[in-house]
Structure 1
């Protein structure tokens, strides 16, 4: 009985620790608000060679021609072979990874989006947005918006540097939080993406801002140290990229 009582007490204390609110310094909050994910896919270049890696291990290089998508998620990619100039089309179900080079116009669009929101100056670095030449897509079987039958798509992986436990994929149709006009087209506040596709273990889900609290334990609850330092009641959806990165870092220790 004593052992059971002690176990119950420990459980209650642990739950209470996770429920307590943590106060962060201004500097800590500034870091937590930083956006560590890659930027959304801006458009592909037809002048640079892209790479397709099939599930059988074969590699195909060619110039981007066209993509077919469902709710902006890729289910087919067409290229012109860089050596033979022969047109080739690959269905997502046969592709393991895809690397598309960004177009010059796409980069210009990214810069324009960056410049029109003051919040970006505080949470993102323009160099990080434009420096990567290619965008990486990975085959995933997902239910679009958790409503449709699972289908294989080539989804943009936006945390390639820290995807060891949690993989985050771009939702091309994600809405953004609202801000208000400051000067002309420049917006003050808002601009935070409100949804992503997130995979942990074998489970992949469409994660919305409104469902963040409900899925917090699933995403991070298996790391008590992380949960004590970043309890659900102390964090915000705007910290999501930081939280995924920090959770990965703390879980590897």
Structure 2
């Protein structure tokens, strides 16, 4: 029976891979006076427009928001659970241009992922390599982040550019991501050591290893998370 259930699960996963979600393309900038909301650690929800954001090492640490009545609210990152903001057309165009670092980056970037985006989401998490410092990290897997959250690693490692005739053919792609599993602190997941990270992250659902042919690929990380989510949900349901 267990083998039958596994076979059905693997068949479902292979079919669903066609419509699998990808990571959201990270935005590196946004403009003030855009619609936004904050959910605080106390459960309060504040809707309004962004007036200002303070950053440290590329991560948001403070917010100033004007609510619908005109009142200004100030938040530290540690007081916030979720911050979301609507990107405007100008911000989207800047983000698209930033992805044009090489021919390959242009081809592999899903521009609709940027142009059709309604919200950019941020969660309060510990800053990488900064003891007891909290910041708002940009979530890259909204919609399939129930067990594993993946965040943009601002100022993280990117692939080296290679040029032909003065034109960058490859380079500029992200090589590191920040990953939070459960209540753990963010860890840096690197493309160079992804095989080890893959085993560490998904070890509680070992059947996932049977779905991967050969060496796990960093570019398939989003698909692996979705496969893991299905298996984790089934495992938890079986325990009830």
Q: Which interval holds the TM-score relative to the shorter structure?
A: 0.7 to 0.9
How many Å separate the matches in 2 of 1:228 and 1:213?
A: 14
What residue number does 2:142 align with? Answer: 160
Q: Give, in whole Å, the separation in 2 of the partners of 1:123 and 1:249.
A: 26
**Residue of structure 1 equivalent to 2:218:** 237
What TM-score does the superposition give when structure 2 sets the normalisation length? 0.78
Answering whether residue 149 of structure 2 is matched by residue 172 of structure 1, we say no
Q: Which residue of the partner structure matches residue 209 of structure 1? A: 191
Q: Is the aligned partner of 1:112 residue 2:132? A: no
Q: Deviations over 1:140-173 (max 9, x none)?
A: 2x242xx331322211111012111111011111
Q: The residue matched to 2:143 in structure 1 has which SS?
A: helix
Q: 1:80 aligns with which of 46, 62, 66?
A: 66
Contact preservation (8 Å) 2:195, 2:216: no
Query: Which residue, 107, 115, 128 being the options, matches 1:130?
Result: 115
Q: TM-score, normalization: structure 1?
A: 0.75
Name the SS for the 2:91 alignment partner.
helix
C-alpha separation in 1, matches of 2:127 and 2:34 = 32
The two structures, once aligned, show a CA RMSD in angstroms of 2.7
Other structure's SS at 1:160 match: coil
Q: Is the 8 A contact 1:42 1:107 kept in 2?
A: no
- Aligned positions of 1:221-236 closer than 5 A: 221-230=203-212, 234-236=215-217
Instruction: Measure how far apart 1:174 and its partner are.
Output: 1.8
Q: Is this contact kept in 1: 2:198–2:216, CA < 8 A?
A: no
Aligned residues: 217
User: Would the alpha carbon gap of residues 135 and 143 (structure 1) be closer, same or farther in structure 2, given more than 3 Å must change?
Assistant: closer
**Partner residue in 2 for 1:56:** 42
- For 1:241 and 1:207, the matched residues in 2 are separated by 13
Report the counterpart of residue 40 of structure 1 in structure 2: 26
Shift in Å, 1:115: 4.2
**CA distance, structure 2, for counterparts of residue 182 and residue 161 of structure 1:** 39
Per-residue deviation, 1:217: 1.7
**Which runs of 5 or more structure 1 residues have no equivalent in the other structure?**
1-27
| CA-CA distance at 1:178 after TM superposition | 2.2
List 4+ stretches of structure 1 deviating above 6 A: none
- The answer to whether the 8 A contact 1:169-1:198 is kept is yes
Q: 1:184 to 1:107 in 2, by over 3 A?
A: farther
**Matching residue within 74, 77, 82 for 1:89:** 74
| Separation of aligned partners in 2, 1:206 and 1:150 | 17
Q: Quick check: 1:63–1:81 contact (8 Å CA) kept in 2?
A: yes
Unaligned runs of at least 5 residues, structure 2: 1-13, 235-240
- CA shift, 1:74, in A, is 1.4
Contact 1:79 1:87 in 2 (8 A): yes
Structure of higher RCO (CA pairs closer than 8 Å, 6+ residues apart): 1
Equivalent pair of 2:152/2:177 in contact (CA under 8 Å): yes
